[in-house]
A and B are shown apart, each in its own frame.
Chain A
Amino acid sequence: MMYILKSRILKGVVTRHIDPKLSGEIESAGLELKSLIRKKFARSLYIREVDTGSCGACESEIISANNPIYDIQRFGINFVASPRHADALLVTGPVSKNMLVALKKTFEAMPEPKFVITLGDCALNGGIFKDSYYIEGPVKDILPAALHIPGCPPTPMAIIKALLAFLKK
């Protein structure tokens, strides 16, 4: 604790040098996103994430979108712990047989109005796993999907941009 305080006092606020091009991109997309969310969702958009059999890379990139570099939360997007708090369900993975019931139940637990976003190539059409014996997907045959974010996995910047383009519609 003393170390943290001492180094904070000595160093002041440490701002990081992000690549100015990237930082400009995040800021401009983010601010636009923020004003749209203010208008359409009364300040913030709450998202619940469900993994239906992804390899984990999509989750890793969603978490990265929340890191201090991208910090998607400052634009009004929150990832929440319970579907009961959520406006949108974010689904990754090709939907394995074992996750079918859990996916449906999670969606049912969400209050109206609600919508579904799919993220990653697996969630769109099963991706490279689509011919497997244990895949029930794609997500859009099970739940009404409003938006798809492509990529394997999509980068945090791609996630922010896809959400922006969707909300503009």
Chain B
Amino acid sequence: MDGSEIISGIKTKLQDFNAISVSKNYSDEICIKVDPQVFKDTCLALHKILPSPVMMLFALDERKAMGKFVINAVFASFRRSQWVILTMDIPQENPCFDSLAKSMYSANLFEREIWEMFGIEPKGNPDLRRLYLHDEVWPQGNYPLRKDFQKMKVGNLGEYKFGRVEGEGIFEVPVGPVHAGIIGPGHFRFSVAGEPIINLEIRFGFTHRGVEKIFEGKSISDAIRFSERVSGDSSFAHSLSFAQAAEKISGISVSLRTAYLRGIFLELERMYNHANDAGGIALDVGFSFPAAYASIIKESILALNEKLTGSRYLKNINSVGRVSVDFDGSKKSILQESIGKIKQDFDELVKILNSSVSFMDRVDTAGVLKKKTAFDLGVVGLAGRASGIPTDLRKYFPGIYKEAKFKMVTQGAGDVLARLRVRIFEFEESCRLIEEFAARMPGDEKIENDPKPKEGSALGYVEGWRGPVLYWLKTDSSGLIERCKIVDPSFHNWQALSYAVLGNIIPDFPLCNKSFDLSYSGNDL
């Protein structure tokens, strides 16, 4: 399929639409370059016709080579199994563009990120507070993702202003960044009237490590090890997404055996995290027995990972064009035997949870995220499916999952129970998929793919356990990375938590939070 269907779709909304260029470098990507004047309207048209939230919106500093900045917006067309990448140039003399956030909220955080990292102003965005670079430690005017950024220049420090709810009897409860549990850092500012929460503002950035800057100038083989350490509980999804982008640039197609092995590891990662969260939800209502049971299941999956790959968190496996682990017959039987046992244990866990009335009472109707809210915020992945948004990359993009007749699960209620149910169904589906993949996996085929350094850009995408993990990668002629934009599903979904907790009481906040279980480090980069 070429881009003509998408272009004619845009024309139904914008009669006199004209693209500067339309190119299709890969079968699953359409790049449309437009004039800055029509960028905003084209984005809004794509948002409506596909329909898709902004999956990525990011800038590139091309001032050295071409004397300009570039901004890319990425949308997904699930029905057509296509990614649409919209591009515009920004002059370096006056770096600004028309804000999309007022018409399309899912662009909001991306715009704030572009502003703090590149100093390109989204004109008209009402909230330009910084996300990662805290005013208390990082002076204004330092834009770390600009190519000419060397070292932080000393300047005036400021203070972050939280949104304020005022009125009689309203008080604020600040929590974090150091929390009571063994968990990442973030600051939560609750405004409550009596018991119910009437506003929650979350401040992030505490685990900001400058990951995207670190990628720049690295070779692909070095950088893949960094991608495994962006979010520790999604190491495999991140390295796979990165590897896929690099493979597209180098023109490598992986062997079917590699694809199935990757599928197995991706599902194992999903399983240990889903088991962990099912237990975590129980723990956060004080139901510790199933929580302990779930942690045994998680441990047995981690131990299985170690047996199969040598790494409990599936690190050091992916490389461009291949995986470093191979399966002989004995590993296959270990896998099949262990999955059988794990599945039995998990069934038991589900029975324990379902048969406890007081547990059900706590999770049912707690932390509701409405479908409309979820769509407007651009919520993706598991949390989106629990609110009735049927998106899952495994379902809509061709590959081994289509072959294995993957079944997608959605729920309508959008509460903690719905998110728990999606996890339970997905865990069971993952068991089935792993068995199916192991059975379908063809025998040894040795294809040595040695990637040659190549110039280009491509999008890697993987449905991790939280949702789509996206890597947009650009390399120069010697194969070194020029820009790597990472979007973890946590970036889209954290803001949904602020809406889901409204009307709930603070003691239910840990429960709502755990039902999303988002990554601090994946968000903060």
Point out residues on A near B: beta carbons under 8 Å.
1-4, 7, 16, 49-64, 66-69, 79, 81-83, 93-94, 96-102, 106, 127-129, 131-135, 152-153, 155
Q: Mark contacts of B167-203 with chain A using CB atoms, 8 A cut-off: 1 yes-contact digit, 0 otherwise.
A: 0000000000110111111000000000000000000
- From DSSP, what is the main secondary structure of chain A's interface residues? mixed
Chain B interface bracket (under 10, 10 to 19, 20 to 34, 35 or more): 35 or more
Complex-state Cα separation, A128 to B209, whole angstroms = 10
Question: Which B residues are in CB contact (< 8 Å) with A69?
Answer: 296, 299
A50-B178 in contact (CB<8A) = yes
Residues A94 and B296 in contact, CB atoms below 8 Å apart: no
Judging by beta carbons under 8 Å apart, are A1 and B206 in contact?
no
Cross-chain contact B209 with A134 (CB below 8 angstroms): yes
A98-B208, A134-B208 known; A4+B177 contact, CB < 8 A: no
The contact sample of 13 A-B pairs, CB cut-off 8 A, is: A53-B208, A54-B207, A56-B231, A60-B232, A61-B312, A69-B299, A102-B177, A102-B178, A102-B206, A131-B214, A133-B152, A133-B210, A135-B209
CB neighbours (8 Å) of A67 from chain B are 292, 295-296, 298-299
Q: Which residues of B contact A3 (CB under 8 A)?
A: 351-352, 355
A52 to B348, CA, bound (A): 37
Could you give, for residues 220-235 of chain B, a 1 whenever the CB lies within 8 Å of some chain A CB and a 0 otherwise? 0000011001111101
Residues on A with beta carbons closer than 8 Å to the beta carbon of B205: 98
B79 interface contact, C-beta 8 A: no
**A44 CA to B408 CA, complexed, in Å:** 48
The distance from the CB of A34 to the nearest CB of chain B, in whole angstroms, is: 20
Quick check: is B134 within 8 A (CB to CB) of the other chain?
yes
Chain B contacts of A96 at CB under 8 A?
A: 206-209
Interface residue ranges, B against A (CB under 8 Å): 132-134, 136-138, 144, 149, 151-152, 177-178, 180-185, 205-211, 213-214, 225-226, 229-233, 235, 276, 289, 292, 295-296, 298-299, 302, 312-313, 315, 348, 351-352, 355-357, 519-521, 524
**In the complex, which of the residues A52, A59, A66, A134 contacts B183, with contact meaning CB atoms closer than 8 Å?**
A59
Q: How far is the CA of A60 from the CA of B276 in the complex (A)?
A: 10
Residue of B whose beta carbon sits closest to that of A4: B352
B206 touches A99 (CB 8 A): yes
Determine if B182 and A63 form an interchain contact, defined as CB atoms under 8 angstroms apart. Answer: yes
Q: Is the CB of B185 within 8 A of A99?
A: yes
Which of A49, A57, A129 is B232 in contact with, Cβ under 8 Å?
A57
Report the nearest B residue to A69, measured CB to CB: B299
Q: Find A58's partner among B232, B276, B357 (CB 8 Å cutoff).
A: B232
Contact across chains for B295 and A153 when beta carbons are under 8 A apart: no
B177/A99 in contact, CB under 8 A: yes
Q: A60-B232, A134-B210 are in contact. Are A1 and B357 (CB under 8 A)?
A: yes
| Whole-angstrom CA separation of A51 from B296 in the bound complex | 24
CB distance from B469 to the nearest CB of A (A): 14
Question: Are B208 and A1 within 8 A (Cβ)?
Answer: no
Q: Which residues of B contact A97 (CB under 8 A)?
A: 134, 137-138, 208
Instruction: List residues of chain B with CB within 8 A of the CB of A102.
Output: 177-178, 185, 206
Residues of A within 8 A of B312 (CB): 61, 155
Query: Which residues of the partner chain B approach A56 to less than 8 Å between Cβ atoms?
Result: 184, 231-233, 519-521
Select which of A81, A131, A152 is within 8 A of B180 by beta carbon: A81
Inter-chain CA distance A97–B133, complex, in Å, is: 9
**What is the CA–CA distance of A88 and B388 in the complex, to the nearest angstrom?**
46
Query: Which residues of chain B are within 8 angstroms of A133 by Cβ–Cβ distance?
Result: 144, 149, 151-152, 210, 213
Q: Do B355 and A68 touch (CB < 8 A)?
A: no
For the complex, what is the distance from the CA of A15 to the CA of B293, rounded to whole Å? 12
B521 and A54 contacting across the interface, CB-CB below 8 Å: yes
B113 CB, nearest partner CB in chain A, Å: 14
B206 surroundings in chain A (CB, below 8 A)? 53, 96, 98-99, 102
Please give the distance in Å from B228's CB to the nearest CB on chain A.
8
A54 to B232, CA, bound (A): 8
- A128–B504 Cα distance when bound, in Å, is 41
Closest CB-CB distance, B264 to chain A, in whole Å?
20
How many whole Å from B430's CB to the nearest CB in chain A? 19
A51 B232 Cβ-Cβ under 8 A: no
**A49 CB contacts on chain B under 8 angstroms:** 182
With A60-B232, A102-B178 as contacts: A93 and B207 at CB distance below 8 Å? yes
- Whether A51 pairs with B183 at a CB distance below 8 angstroms is yes
Q: Is the CB of B313 within 8 A of A59?
A: no
- Most B CB atoms within 10 A — which of A52, A97, A132? A97
